Amino acid sequence: MCSSPKGGSTKPLLSSNVDSTSGNMSSAEYSNMVHRANKSYERRQEELIEYRKTHKRKNSQNVNKQIKRSFFEKISAFFSQIASSQQLGSK
């Protein structure tokens, strides 16, 4: 008799009662289905790679612009702080 780690009775999980559509297939039909699925997966992966190539440039340009903008904002704030402190010191 099997028991669960907590000591209670073991009940079958719902996932163990799955209807299999491949159960009624011959091995050739199943192999063909797996082959089509693999081809479809490979095609989607190639499309994803191409998509990432074209969209990566756009996203990286936006990020670079944001980095440059924030860098220049920091420099501008620094110089304006120096200018204001010099104005206060000269008065």
Write out pLDDT tens, residues 39-75. 999 999 999 998 888 876 655 666 666 777 778 888 8
What is the three-state SS of 7-58? CCECCCCHHHCCCCHHHHCCHHHHHHHHHHHHHHHHHHHHHHHHHHHHHHHH
- Statement: the pTM of the whole predicted model exceeds 0.75: no
Q: How many C-beta neighbours within 10 Å does residue 61 have?
A: 10
The pLDDT of residue 11 is: 59
Where is pLDDT greater, at 31 or 58?
Answer: 31
Nearest CA to 43 among 54, 55, 35, 33? 35
Provide the terminal-to-terminal Cα distance of the chain, rounded to the nearest Å: 92
